[in-house]
Chain A
Protein backbone atom coordinates (compact mmCIF):
# COMPACT_ATOMS: atom_id res chain seq x y z
CA UNK A 1 0.00 0.00 0.00
CA UNK A 2 1.23 3.46 -0.83
CA UNK A 3 1.13 5.47 2.36
CA UNK A 4 2.61 8.62 0.91
CA UNK A 5 0.53 11.74 1.07
CA UNK A 6 -1.45 12.37 -2.07
CA UNK A 7 0.20 14.79 -4.47
CA UNK A 8 -1.25 18.22 -4.40
CA UNK A 9 -2.50 19.33 -7.81
CA UNK A 10 -0.90 22.70 -7.05
CA UNK A 11 2.57 21.22 -6.60
CA UNK A 12 3.54 21.07 -10.28
CA UNK A 13 2.36 24.56 -11.24
CA UNK A 14 4.02 25.88 -8.10
CA UNK A 15 7.28 24.22 -9.04
CA UNK A 16 7.04 25.69 -12.53
CA UNK A 17 6.43 29.17 -11.12
CA UNK A 18 9.34 28.79 -8.70
CA UNK A 19 11.61 27.64 -11.47
CA UNK A 20 10.53 30.55 -13.64
CA UNK A 21 11.20 32.98 -10.80
CA UNK A 22 14.63 31.45 -10.23
CA UNK A 23 15.49 31.78 -13.91
CA UNK A 24 14.21 35.35 -13.90
CA UNK A 25 16.25 36.09 -10.81
CA UNK A 26 19.36 34.60 -12.33
CA UNK A 27 18.81 36.58 -15.48
CA UNK A 28 18.36 39.74 -13.42
CA UNK A 29 21.45 38.96 -11.39
CA UNK A 30 23.45 38.57 -14.56
CA UNK A 31 22.29 41.80 -16.08
CA UNK A 32 24.20 44.21 -13.86
CA UNK A 33 26.09 46.65 -16.06
CA UNK A 34 29.88 46.46 -15.87
CA UNK A 35 31.67 49.50 -14.52
CA UNK A 36 35.21 50.73 -13.96
CA UNK A 37 36.70 50.26 -10.51
CA UNK A 38 36.50 53.87 -9.45
CA UNK A 39 32.76 54.05 -10.02
CA UNK A 40 31.99 51.89 -7.00
CA UNK A 41 34.50 53.47 -4.67
CA UNK A 42 32.26 56.22 -3.33
CA UNK A 43 29.55 53.82 -2.23
CA UNK A 44 32.02 51.43 -0.66
CA UNK A 45 33.73 54.32 1.12
CA UNK A 46 30.40 55.48 2.55
CA UNK A 47 29.89 52.01 4.00
CA UNK A 48 33.45 51.87 5.28
CA UNK A 49 33.11 55.19 7.08
CA UNK A 50 29.96 53.92 8.77
CA UNK A 51 31.94 50.89 9.93
CA UNK A 52 35.01 52.72 11.17
CA UNK A 53 36.06 56.36 10.97
CA UNK A 54 39.69 55.43 10.26
CA UNK A 55 38.92 52.88 7.55
CA UNK A 56 41.33 53.20 4.62
CA UNK A 57 41.16 51.53 1.24
CA UNK A 58 43.92 48.92 0.92
CA UNK A 59 42.85 46.62 -1.89
CA UNK A 60 40.54 46.46 -4.93
CA UNK A 61 39.79 43.36 -7.02
CA UNK A 62 37.24 42.41 -9.64
CA UNK A 63 34.75 39.82 -8.37
CA UNK A 64 33.25 38.97 -11.75
CA UNK A 65 34.58 38.68 -15.27
CA UNK A 66 36.38 41.59 -16.88
CA UNK A 67 35.88 42.76 -20.41
CA UNK A 68 38.23 44.44 -22.86
CA UNK A 69 37.59 47.89 -21.43
CA UNK A 70 38.68 46.97 -17.92
CA UNK A 71 35.17 46.98 -16.51
CA UNK A 72 33.44 44.33 -14.45
CA UNK A 73 29.88 43.93 -13.12
CA UNK A 74 31.21 43.57 -9.57
CA UNK A 75 34.23 44.92 -7.72
CA UNK A 76 35.34 44.40 -4.14
CA UNK A 77 36.82 47.21 -2.05
CA UNK A 78 38.77 46.12 0.99
CA UNK A 79 39.33 48.57 3.83
CA UNK A 80 41.56 48.23 6.84
CA UNK A 81 40.87 49.94 10.15
CA UNK A 82 43.75 50.31 12.57
CA UNK A 83 41.40 51.01 15.47
CA UNK A 84 39.39 47.87 14.74
CA UNK A 85 42.55 45.98 13.75
CA UNK A 86 40.73 44.16 11.01
CA UNK A 87 39.80 44.40 7.37
CA UNK A 88 36.31 44.50 5.92
CA UNK A 89 35.23 44.46 2.30
CA UNK A 90 32.24 45.66 0.36
CA UNK A 91 31.40 44.19 -3.03
CA UNK A 92 29.55 46.61 -5.29
CA UNK A 93 27.27 45.50 -8.10
CA UNK A 94 24.69 47.45 -10.07
CA UNK A 95 25.17 50.55 -7.92
CA UNK A 96 24.42 48.66 -4.71
CA UNK A 97 26.43 46.81 -2.13
CA UNK A 98 25.91 43.17 -2.97
CA UNK A 99 28.06 41.73 -0.18
CA UNK A 100 29.85 42.90 2.93
CA UNK A 101 32.08 40.79 5.10
CA UNK A 102 35.03 40.86 7.42
CA UNK A 103 38.15 39.38 5.87
CA UNK A 104 39.10 36.15 7.59
CA UNK A 105 42.81 36.88 7.46
CA UNK A 106 45.12 39.48 8.88
CA UNK A 107 45.57 42.15 6.24
CA UNK A 108 47.11 45.27 7.76
CA UNK A 109 48.15 46.51 4.34
CA UNK A 110 49.16 50.13 3.70
CA UNK A 111 46.41 52.30 2.19
CA UNK A 112 46.47 52.80 -1.54
CA UNK A 113 47.42 56.26 -2.74
CA UNK A 114 44.53 58.53 -3.58
CA UNK A 115 44.08 59.49 -7.21
CA UNK A 116 44.83 56.04 -8.52
CA UNK A 117 44.43 55.36 -12.20
CA UNK A 118 41.12 53.76 -13.10
CA UNK A 119 40.92 50.17 -14.28
CA UNK A 120 40.30 51.05 -17.94
CA UNK A 121 43.52 53.03 -18.27
CA UNK A 122 45.48 50.39 -16.37
CA UNK A 123 44.22 47.68 -18.71
CA UNK A 124 45.10 49.72 -21.79
CA UNK A 125 48.67 50.05 -20.49
CA UNK A 126 48.90 46.36 -19.69
CA UNK A 127 47.63 45.42 -23.13
CA UNK A 128 50.39 47.50 -24.70
CA UNK A 129 52.88 46.03 -22.28
CA UNK A 130 52.41 42.41 -23.35
CA UNK A 131 48.84 41.51 -22.44
CA UNK A 132 47.48 41.76 -25.96
CA UNK A 133 50.31 39.66 -27.33
CA UNK A 134 49.80 37.00 -24.68
CA UNK A 135 46.09 36.75 -25.42
CA UNK A 136 46.76 36.49 -29.14
CA UNK A 137 49.54 33.94 -28.91
CA UNK A 138 47.99 31.65 -26.33
CA UNK A 139 44.27 32.27 -26.62
CA UNK A 140 44.41 33.71 -23.14
CA UNK A 141 42.15 36.08 -21.29
CA UNK A 142 42.39 38.67 -18.59
CA UNK A 143 41.19 37.08 -15.38
CA UNK A 144 42.08 39.39 -12.52
CA UNK A 145 42.82 43.03 -11.86
CA UNK A 146 43.89 44.05 -8.40
CA UNK A 147 44.98 47.33 -6.94
CA UNK A 148 47.21 47.54 -3.90
CA UNK A 149 50.28 49.13 -2.51
CA UNK A 150 53.63 47.52 -1.98
CA UNK A 151 53.19 43.84 -2.52
CA UNK A 152 53.83 43.62 -6.26
CA UNK A 153 56.04 46.62 -6.78
CA UNK A 154 59.69 45.73 -7.17
CA UNK A 155 61.30 49.14 -7.19
CA UNK A 156 59.45 51.47 -4.88
CA UNK A 157 57.49 49.46 -2.31
CA UNK A 158 55.53 52.57 -1.49
CA UNK A 159 53.95 52.75 -4.90
CA UNK A 160 50.35 51.83 -5.57
CA UNK A 161 50.06 49.50 -8.54
CA UNK A 162 47.56 47.61 -10.59
CA UNK A 163 48.44 43.97 -11.15
CA UNK A 164 46.77 42.27 -14.09
CA UNK A 165 46.72 38.50 -14.38
CA UNK A 166 46.27 36.91 -17.81
CA UNK A 167 45.59 33.21 -17.98
CA UNK A 168 45.72 30.68 -20.80
CA UNK A 169 45.49 26.93 -20.87
CA UNK A 170 48.72 24.99 -20.79
CA UNK A 171 51.06 27.94 -20.28
CA UNK A 172 52.16 29.91 -17.24
CA UNK A 173 50.05 32.98 -16.47
CA UNK A 174 51.22 36.46 -17.36
CA UNK A 175 51.43 39.09 -14.63
CA UNK A 176 51.65 42.73 -15.62
CA UNK A 177 52.26 45.39 -12.98
CA UNK A 178 51.18 48.90 -13.93
CA UNK A 179 51.81 52.03 -11.90
CA UNK A 180 48.52 53.42 -10.66
CA UNK A 181 50.07 56.87 -10.65
CA UNK A 182 51.21 57.27 -14.26
CA UNK A 183 50.11 54.13 -16.09
CA UNK A 184 53.64 52.90 -16.87
CA UNK A 185 54.24 49.18 -16.99
CA UNK A 186 56.68 48.44 -14.19
CA UNK A 187 57.32 44.78 -14.75
CA UNK A 188 55.92 41.61 -16.25
CA UNK A 189 56.57 38.00 -15.40
CA UNK A 190 55.22 34.53 -16.09
CA UNK A 191 54.28 32.25 -13.30
Chain B
Protein backbone atom coordinates (compact mmCIF):
# COMPACT_ATOMS: atom_id res chain seq x y z
CA UNK B 1 0.00 0.00 0.00
CA UNK B 2 1.17 3.50 -0.70
CA UNK B 3 2.16 5.65 2.23
CA UNK B 4 -0.29 8.32 3.36
CA UNK B 5 2.26 10.96 2.41
CA UNK B 6 1.80 10.15 -1.25
CA UNK B 7 -1.95 10.51 -0.88
CA UNK B 8 -1.56 13.91 0.72
CA UNK B 9 0.85 14.99 -1.99
CA UNK B 10 -1.53 13.90 -4.70
CA UNK B 11 -4.48 15.58 -3.06
CA UNK B 12 -2.63 18.80 -2.56
CA UNK B 13 -1.33 18.78 -6.11
CA UNK B 14 -4.75 18.13 -7.60
CA UNK B 15 -6.52 20.75 -5.53
CA UNK B 16 -3.81 23.31 -6.06
CA UNK B 17 -3.61 22.80 -9.80
CA UNK B 18 -7.35 23.06 -10.15
CA UNK B 19 -7.18 26.59 -8.89
CA UNK B 20 -4.12 27.88 -10.70
CA UNK B 21 -3.23 25.66 -13.61
CA UNK B 22 0.12 26.66 -15.00
CA UNK B 23 2.18 27.86 -12.06
CA UNK B 24 0.78 25.42 -9.52
CA UNK B 25 1.18 22.46 -11.77
CA UNK B 26 4.84 23.16 -12.16
CA UNK B 27 5.19 23.59 -8.43
CA UNK B 28 3.26 20.41 -7.78
CA UNK B 29 5.42 18.51 -10.22
CA UNK B 30 8.50 19.72 -8.44
CA UNK B 31 7.02 18.89 -5.05
CA UNK B 32 6.12 15.38 -6.02
CA UNK B 33 9.53 14.85 -7.57
CA UNK B 34 11.16 16.02 -4.39
CA UNK B 35 9.00 14.14 -1.91
CA UNK B 36 8.02 10.91 -3.54
CA UNK B 37 9.76 8.35 -5.70
CA UNK B 38 8.81 8.56 -9.34
CA UNK B 39 9.95 10.24 -12.53
CA UNK B 40 12.83 12.56 -11.87
CA UNK B 41 12.64 16.05 -13.34
CA UNK B 42 15.35 16.15 -15.97
CA UNK B 43 17.99 18.73 -15.24
CA UNK B 44 18.25 21.22 -18.08
CA UNK B 45 21.60 22.55 -19.24
CA UNK B 46 22.34 26.07 -18.06
CA UNK B 47 21.17 28.81 -20.39
CA UNK B 48 23.76 31.11 -21.92
CA UNK B 49 24.30 34.03 -19.61
CA UNK B 50 25.53 37.29 -21.06
CA UNK B 51 27.21 39.82 -18.85
CA UNK B 52 26.08 43.38 -19.42
CA UNK B 53 28.00 46.40 -18.29
CA UNK B 54 26.26 49.22 -16.50
CA UNK B 55 27.51 52.58 -17.67
CA UNK B 56 27.25 56.05 -16.20
CA UNK B 57 26.69 57.75 -19.55
CA UNK B 58 24.15 56.81 -22.19
CA UNK B 59 25.94 54.91 -24.97
CA UNK B 60 26.14 56.94 -28.15
CA UNK B 61 24.66 55.26 -31.18
CA UNK B 62 24.85 56.15 -34.81
CA UNK B 63 21.83 58.18 -35.90
CA UNK B 64 20.45 56.76 -39.11
CA UNK B 65 18.33 58.91 -41.40
CA UNK B 66 14.75 57.68 -41.69
CA UNK B 67 11.65 58.55 -43.74
CA UNK B 68 13.48 61.35 -45.49
CA UNK B 69 10.75 61.97 -48.08
CA UNK B 70 8.12 62.26 -45.38
CA UNK B 71 10.19 64.72 -43.37
CA UNK B 72 11.03 66.79 -46.45
CA UNK B 73 7.41 66.96 -47.58
CA UNK B 74 5.68 66.99 -44.22
CA UNK B 75 3.64 70.11 -44.90
CA UNK B 76 2.41 68.84 -48.25
CA UNK B 77 1.43 65.44 -46.86
CA UNK B 78 -0.25 66.99 -43.83
CA UNK B 79 -2.22 69.28 -46.12
CA UNK B 80 -3.34 66.30 -48.17
CA UNK B 81 -4.57 64.55 -45.05
CA UNK B 82 -6.41 67.64 -43.94
CA UNK B 83 -8.32 67.59 -47.22
CA UNK B 84 -9.60 64.13 -46.56
CA UNK B 85 -13.12 64.05 -45.20
CA UNK B 86 -14.66 61.28 -43.24
CA UNK B 87 -17.49 59.60 -45.06
CA UNK B 88 -19.81 57.07 -43.48
CA UNK B 89 -20.58 53.86 -45.33
CA UNK B 90 -22.96 51.04 -44.53
CA UNK B 91 -21.16 47.76 -44.48
CA UNK B 92 -21.92 44.34 -43.17
CA UNK B 93 -19.09 42.72 -41.29
CA UNK B 94 -19.09 38.96 -41.45
CA UNK B 95 -18.73 36.99 -38.26
CA UNK B 96 -15.41 35.21 -38.02
CA UNK B 97 -14.92 31.68 -36.80
CA UNK B 98 -14.24 31.31 -33.11
CA UNK B 99 -10.84 29.88 -32.38
CA UNK B 100 -11.56 26.26 -31.37
CA UNK B 101 -9.03 26.59 -28.58
CA UNK B 102 -11.27 29.08 -26.81
CA UNK B 103 -14.04 26.51 -26.77
CA UNK B 104 -11.61 23.89 -25.57
CA UNK B 105 -10.54 26.07 -22.64
CA UNK B 106 -14.10 26.10 -21.37
CA UNK B 107 -14.25 22.32 -21.53
CA UNK B 108 -10.90 22.06 -19.71
CA UNK B 109 -12.17 24.32 -16.94
CA UNK B 110 -15.30 22.18 -16.55
CA UNK B 111 -13.17 19.04 -16.32
CA UNK B 112 -10.93 20.66 -13.74
CA UNK B 113 -13.94 21.63 -11.65
CA UNK B 114 -15.32 18.10 -11.92
CA UNK B 115 -12.00 16.61 -10.85
CA UNK B 116 -11.83 18.95 -7.92
CA UNK B 117 -15.33 17.93 -6.86
CA UNK B 118 -14.45 14.24 -7.04
CA UNK B 119 -11.36 14.69 -4.92
CA UNK B 120 -13.17 16.85 -2.41
CA UNK B 121 -15.99 14.29 -2.12
CA UNK B 122 -13.55 11.44 -1.52
CA UNK B 123 -11.67 13.50 1.02
CA UNK B 124 -14.86 14.34 2.90
CA UNK B 125 -15.91 10.73 3.00
CA UNK B 126 -12.52 9.69 4.31
CA UNK B 127 -12.64 12.29 7.06
CA UNK B 128 -16.09 11.16 8.11
CA UNK B 129 -14.99 7.57 8.28
CA UNK B 130 -12.06 8.47 10.52
CA UNK B 131 -10.32 5.09 10.72
CA UNK B 132 -10.10 2.06 8.52
CA UNK B 133 -11.99 -0.80 10.06
CA UNK B 134 -11.39 -3.64 7.69
CA UNK B 135 -9.45 -4.96 4.75
CA UNK B 136 -12.36 -3.90 2.51
CA UNK B 137 -11.80 -0.32 3.59
CA UNK B 138 -8.16 -0.55 2.63
CA UNK B 139 -9.13 -1.93 -0.78
CA UNK B 140 -11.55 0.96 -1.21
CA UNK B 141 -8.80 3.38 -0.32
CA UNK B 142 -6.56 1.76 -2.91
CA UNK B 143 -9.26 2.28 -5.53
CA UNK B 144 -9.62 5.89 -4.52
CA UNK B 145 -5.91 6.40 -4.86
CA UNK B 146 -5.98 4.88 -8.32
CA UNK B 147 -8.82 7.20 -9.24
CA UNK B 148 -6.82 10.16 -8.00
CA UNK B 149 -3.85 9.04 -10.05
CA UNK B 150 -6.08 9.03 -13.10
CA UNK B 151 -7.37 12.48 -12.24
CA UNK B 152 -3.82 13.67 -11.92
CA UNK B 153 -2.90 12.22 -15.28
CA UNK B 154 -5.78 13.95 -17.00
CA UNK B 155 -4.85 17.16 -15.24
CA UNK B 156 -1.31 16.84 -16.57
CA UNK B 157 -2.70 16.35 -20.06
CA UNK B 158 -4.83 19.48 -19.73
CA UNK B 159 -1.85 21.46 -18.51
CA UNK B 160 0.13 20.17 -21.47
CA UNK B 161 -2.50 21.57 -23.82
CA UNK B 162 -2.42 24.97 -22.11
CA UNK B 163 1.37 25.00 -22.01
CA UNK B 164 1.60 24.22 -25.72
CA UNK B 165 -0.87 27.00 -26.51
CA UNK B 166 0.69 29.72 -24.42
CA UNK B 167 4.37 28.84 -24.59
CA UNK B 168 3.98 28.68 -28.37
CA UNK B 169 2.82 32.29 -28.44
CA UNK B 170 5.65 33.82 -26.51
CA UNK B 171 6.20 37.44 -27.45
CA UNK B 172 9.24 39.58 -26.91
CA UNK B 173 9.31 40.21 -23.19
CA UNK B 174 11.73 41.46 -20.60
CA UNK B 175 11.75 40.46 -16.96
CA UNK B 176 14.05 42.65 -14.89
CA UNK B 177 14.92 41.49 -11.39
CA UNK B 178 17.30 42.78 -8.76
CA UNK B 179 19.15 40.63 -6.28
CA UNK B 180 21.56 41.20 -3.43
CA UNK B 181 21.76 43.88 -0.81
CA UNK B 182 24.11 46.79 -1.38
CA UNK B 183 27.38 46.94 0.53
CA UNK B 184 26.66 50.52 1.56
CA UNK B 185 23.82 52.98 1.36
CA UNK B 186 20.18 52.04 1.27
CA UNK B 187 18.07 51.54 -1.84
CA UNK B 188 14.53 52.79 -1.32
CA UNK B 189 13.33 52.46 -4.88
CA UNK B 190 14.42 51.42 -8.35
CA UNK B 191 13.26 53.12 -11.54
CA UNK B 192 13.57 51.58 -14.99
CA UNK B 193 13.00 53.59 -18.16
CA UNK B 194 12.82 52.04 -21.60
CA UNK B 195 13.72 53.84 -24.80
CA UNK B 196 10.09 54.26 -25.84
CA UNK B 197 9.52 56.30 -22.69
CA UNK B 198 7.94 53.57 -20.58
CA UNK B 199 9.01 54.12 -16.99
CA UNK B 200 8.40 51.81 -14.04
CA UNK B 201 9.30 52.48 -10.46
CA UNK B 202 9.44 49.95 -7.62
CA UNK B 203 9.61 50.94 -4.00
CA UNK B 204 11.42 48.56 -1.68
CA UNK B 205 10.07 47.79 1.75
CA UNK B 206 12.24 46.87 4.70
CA UNK B 207 11.13 43.27 4.29
CA UNK B 208 12.13 43.24 0.64
CA UNK B 209 15.53 44.75 1.44
CA UNK B 210 16.04 42.01 4.02
CA UNK B 211 14.99 39.40 1.51
CA UNK B 212 17.48 40.73 -1.04
CA UNK B 213 20.24 40.54 1.56
CA UNK B 214 19.44 36.88 2.07
CA UNK B 215 19.39 35.82 -1.57
CA UNK B 216 15.92 36.89 -2.60
CA UNK B 217 15.05 38.50 -5.91
CA UNK B 218 12.66 41.35 -6.63
CA UNK B 219 10.93 41.77 -9.95
CA UNK B 220 11.09 45.42 -11.00
CA UNK B 221 9.68 45.18 -14.51
CA UNK B 222 8.02 42.53 -16.61
CA UNK B 223 6.47 43.44 -19.91
CA UNK B 224 6.67 43.58 -23.68
CA UNK B 225 9.74 45.20 -25.20
CA UNK B 226 10.85 45.90 -28.73
CA UNK B 227 13.01 43.14 -30.25
CA UNK B 228 16.07 45.27 -30.95
CA UNK B 229 19.24 46.61 -29.42
CA UNK B 230 18.25 49.26 -26.92
CA UNK B 231 19.44 51.18 -23.91
CA UNK B 232 17.68 50.84 -20.58
CA UNK B 233 18.00 53.56 -17.99
CA UNK B 234 18.34 52.45 -14.39
CA UNK B 235 18.07 54.68 -11.34
CA UNK B 236 18.58 53.61 -7.75
CA UNK B 237 17.20 56.03 -5.22
CA UNK B 238 17.74 56.17 -1.50
CA UNK B 239 20.38 56.97 1.07
CA UNK B 240 23.69 57.49 -0.71
CA UNK B 241 22.32 56.46 -4.10
CA UNK B 242 20.24 59.39 -5.27
CA UNK B 243 23.27 61.22 -6.65
CA UNK B 244 25.23 58.29 -8.01
CA UNK B 245 22.74 55.56 -8.72
CA UNK B 246 21.90 56.52 -12.27
CA UNK B 247 23.14 54.54 -15.27
CA UNK B 248 22.46 52.83 -18.55
CA UNK B 249 22.81 49.37 -19.96
CA UNK B 250 22.46 48.02 -23.46
CA UNK B 251 20.50 44.88 -24.17
CA UNK B 252 19.06 43.21 -27.25
CA UNK B 253 15.99 41.17 -26.33
CA UNK B 254 15.52 38.23 -28.68
CA UNK B 255 12.34 38.34 -30.69
CA UNK B 256 9.46 36.25 -29.35
CA UNK B 257 11.47 35.15 -26.33
CA UNK B 258 11.44 36.02 -22.66
CA UNK B 259 14.69 37.70 -21.71
CA UNK B 260 15.70 37.93 -18.08
CA UNK B 261 17.85 40.80 -16.93
CA UNK B 262 19.33 40.55 -13.46
CA UNK B 263 20.89 43.45 -11.63
CA UNK B 264 23.07 42.23 -8.80
CA UNK B 265 23.52 44.81 -6.06
CA UNK B 266 25.64 42.64 -3.78
CA UNK B 267 28.89 44.40 -4.65
CA UNK B 268 27.40 47.84 -5.10
CA UNK B 269 28.17 50.87 -3.02
CA UNK B 270 27.54 54.56 -3.64
CA UNK B 271 31.24 55.44 -3.59
CA UNK B 272 31.77 53.27 -6.67
CA UNK B 273 28.62 54.51 -8.34
CA UNK B 274 26.22 52.71 -10.60
CA UNK B 275 29.04 50.87 -12.37
CA UNK B 276 29.47 48.73 -9.26
CA UNK B 277 26.28 46.90 -10.17
CA UNK B 278 26.72 43.73 -12.15
CA UNK B 279 24.14 42.85 -14.76
CA UNK B 280 23.49 39.78 -16.82
CA UNK B 281 20.87 38.49 -19.22
CA UNK B 282 19.64 35.08 -20.25
CA UNK B 283 16.72 33.63 -22.14
CA UNK B 284 13.95 31.49 -20.85
CA UNK B 285 14.43 28.01 -22.22
CA UNK B 286 11.82 27.37 -24.86
CA UNK B 287 11.42 23.65 -24.52
CA UNK B 288 8.34 21.52 -24.46
CA UNK B 289 8.56 21.14 -20.73
CA UNK B 290 9.17 24.81 -20.13
CA UNK B 291 7.77 25.93 -16.83
CA UNK B 292 8.08 28.98 -14.63
CA UNK B 293 10.43 27.04 -12.38
CA UNK B 294 13.04 26.91 -15.07
CA UNK B 295 13.25 30.67 -15.13
CA UNK B 296 14.22 30.92 -11.51
CA UNK B 297 17.69 31.77 -10.40
CA UNK B 298 19.68 28.89 -9.06
CA UNK B 299 23.09 27.37 -9.09
CA UNK B 300 22.93 26.99 -12.83
CA UNK B 301 21.63 30.49 -13.43
CA UNK B 302 22.66 33.76 -11.96
Which chain A residues have a beta carbon within 8 Å of chain B's beta carbons? 43, 46-47, 49-51, 59, 61, 63, 74, 76, 78, 88-91, 96-103, 105-110, 144, 146, 150-152, 157, 165
**Complex Cα distance A91/B255, Å?**
16
A99, B66: Cβ atoms closer than 8 Å: yes
23 A-B pairs (CB sep. < 8 Å): A46-B256, A47-B172, A47-B226, A49-B171, A50-B224, A59-B67, A61-B69, A78-B67, A78-B70, A88-B196, A89-B67, A90-B228, A99-B63, A100-B195, A100-B196, A100-B226, A103-B67, A105-B74, A110-B84, A144-B68, A146-B70, A151-B80, A152-B80
**Complex Cα distance A63/B71, Å?**
12
**Complex Cα distance A169/B154, Å?**
74
Is B225 at the interface (CB under 8 A from chain A)?
Answer: yes
A150, B81: Cβ atoms closer than 8 Å: yes
B226, A99: Cβ atoms closer than 8 Å: no
A43, B81: Cβ atoms closer than 8 Å: no
A51, B69: Cβ atoms closer than 8 Å: no
**Complex Cα distance A51/B196, Å?**
7
Contact residues on B (Cβ < 8 Å of other chain), bracket: 20 to 34
Is B1 at the interface (CB under 8 A from chain A)?
Answer: no
- Give the residue of A88, A98, A99, A150 whose beta carbon is less than 8 angstroms from that of B84: A150
A97, B70: Cβ atoms closer than 8 Å: no
B78, A98: Cβ atoms closer than 8 Å: no
A63, B80: Cβ atoms closer than 8 Å: no
From known contacts A91-B64, A106-B78, A151-B81, infer whether A47 and B69 are also in contact, taking CB-CB under 8 Å.
no
From known contacts A63-B64, A165-B69, infer whether A50 and B171 are also in contact, taking CB-CB under 8 Å.
yes
Is B77 at the interface (CB under 8 A from chain A)?
Answer: yes
A51, B226: Cβ atoms closer than 8 Å: yes
B66, A46: Cβ atoms closer than 8 Å: no
B226, A50: Cβ atoms closer than 8 Å: yes
B66, A101: Cβ atoms closer than 8 Å: yes
Name B75's closest neighbour in chain A (CB-CB).
Answer: A105
Q: Which residues of B contact A43 (CB under 8 A)?
A: 227, 255
Name B69's closest neighbour in chain A (CB-CB).
Answer: A144
Q: Which residues of A contact B66 (CB under 8 A)?
A: 63, 76, 89, 91, 99, 101
A97, B80: Cβ atoms closer than 8 Å: no
Which residues of B75-96 have CB atoms within 8 Å of chain A's CB atoms?
A: 77-78, 80-81, 84
Nearest Cβ in chain A — how far from B221, in angstroms?
13
**Complex Cα distance A123/B84, Å?**
26
A49, B74: Cβ atoms closer than 8 Å: no
Nearest Cβ in chain B — how far from A109, in angstroms?
6
From known contacts A100-B195, A105-B74, A150-B84, infer whether A49 and B224 are also in contact, taking CB-CB under 8 Å.
yes
**Complex Cα distance A157/B67, Å?**
22
Nearest Cβ in chain A — how far from B280, in angstroms?
22
